[in-house]
Amino acid sequence: MKKVTKNADKFPTKTESRNADATTESIADNTEMPEMAKVFTAAEAQALISMKLKPMDVRQLTTTIFGDDLITHRWSEKARKEMLDNQQRTKEEKKIAKLNREKKDPEADFQGARYHWDGKDWFPVNGVKKAMVSAAHALGINRSIVQRSVFIAGESRRDYFQIKYTRVVRREDAVKVGPFGKKETDLRYRPEYQNWTAELRIQYRADVITAEQVLLLLRDAGFSIGIGEWRPDRGGQAGRFEIEATPTKKAKPVTSRGVRRAA
């Protein structure tokens, strides 16, 4: 009785495999060059590029944002130095440093948490940009569209915009610090700007996103995300803002040297 192997047709013999390889090689030799390897003429290449590339239309608009309360927490020079020193210590030295830690100075911590220089108060432009990116993501818009098409132009050191306010107060908040499972309660002293306002200069690609869409996204970021400490994006209530009904200045084209002046 002839023995039948189950699923034998799935396991060809060595002879069948060699014959199959030879057939494959013969077919490969007679196969024409694939379409992707086609050589294009200069005119054809230019036509393909023009189908996917559009000239950039960079514009700038100026608008004002305002809110009730804004809490900032800048890393002070003292905090930066303590962090660097702690990273260079051994375990024993860390224990000794913790026992000999300086007493907390609420006023110094409060002043150190401000972005304050040249007699003015500032805020990082990246805070607003991140809020807009987060708002876009929450609305189902690709983050990269906003990241690459919208930028906030800073005034001081290129990375900050000035904030004006009616009053700044010192806050005292209890926070949890330390590694997971070993967190301890500590007190933080930070500035809270009340009835604050700021003028933003926003540069955007008009060939990708319109001025109206930029302002709508900024408004949504102010309502749902916020900026600074204890903002809605981090479970808080502070840092929310509104924008004025219309931009302070109309959008203008931007060149590599800056905003193009009207003729």
Sketch the domain layout of the chain as residue ranges. Answer: 59-74+113-259, 75-112
Among the listed residues 253, 200, 257, the one whose alpha carbon sits nearest the alpha carbon of residue 58: 253
pLDDT at 84 over 80: no
Alpha carbon of residue 259 to chain centroid: 24
For range 23-35, the mean pLDDT: 47
**Beta bridge partners of residue 188, listed in sequence order:** 173
State if pTM tops 0.75: no
Q: Distance between the two ends of the chain, CA-based, in angstroms?
A: 100
Residue pointed to by tokens 């610090």: 177
Top-confidence residue, 263 or 42: 42
pLDDT given for residue 83 in this prediction = 62
3-state secondary structure of 227: coil
Which element (helix H / strand E) includes 122? strand 120-124
Among the listed residues 23, 25, 115, the one whose alpha carbon sits nearest the alpha carbon of residue 70: 115
Is the distance from CB of 226 to CB of 232 less than 8 angstroms?
A: yes
Q: 158 falls in which pLDDT band (50, 70, 90)?
A: confident
* Averaged pLDDT of the chain: 80
Token representation of residue 253: 């084209």
3-state secondary structure of 222: helix
Among the listed residues 230, 229, 241, the one whose alpha carbon sits nearest the alpha carbon of residue 75: 229
Ramachandran sector of residue 118 (left: φ over 0; alpha: ψ -120 to 50; beta: rest): left
Top-confidence residue, 22 or 158: 158
pLDDT given for residue 160 in this prediction = 96
Among the listed residues 158, 151, 79, 64, the one whose alpha carbon sits nearest the alpha carbon of residue 111: 79
What is the domain class of 59-74+113-259 according to CATH? alpha beta
Among the listed residues 150, 118, 117, the one whose alpha carbon sits nearest the alpha carbon of residue 217: 150
For range 136-159, the mean pLDDT: 91
Token representation of residue 59: 């514009």
Q: Cα torsion for 13, 14, 18, 20, to the nearest 10°? A: 20
For range 47-56, the mean pLDDT: 72
pLDDT given for residue 116 in this prediction = 94
**Beta bridge partners of residue 193, listed in sequence order:** 70, 168
Q: 11 falls in which pLDDT band (50, 70, 90)?
A: very low
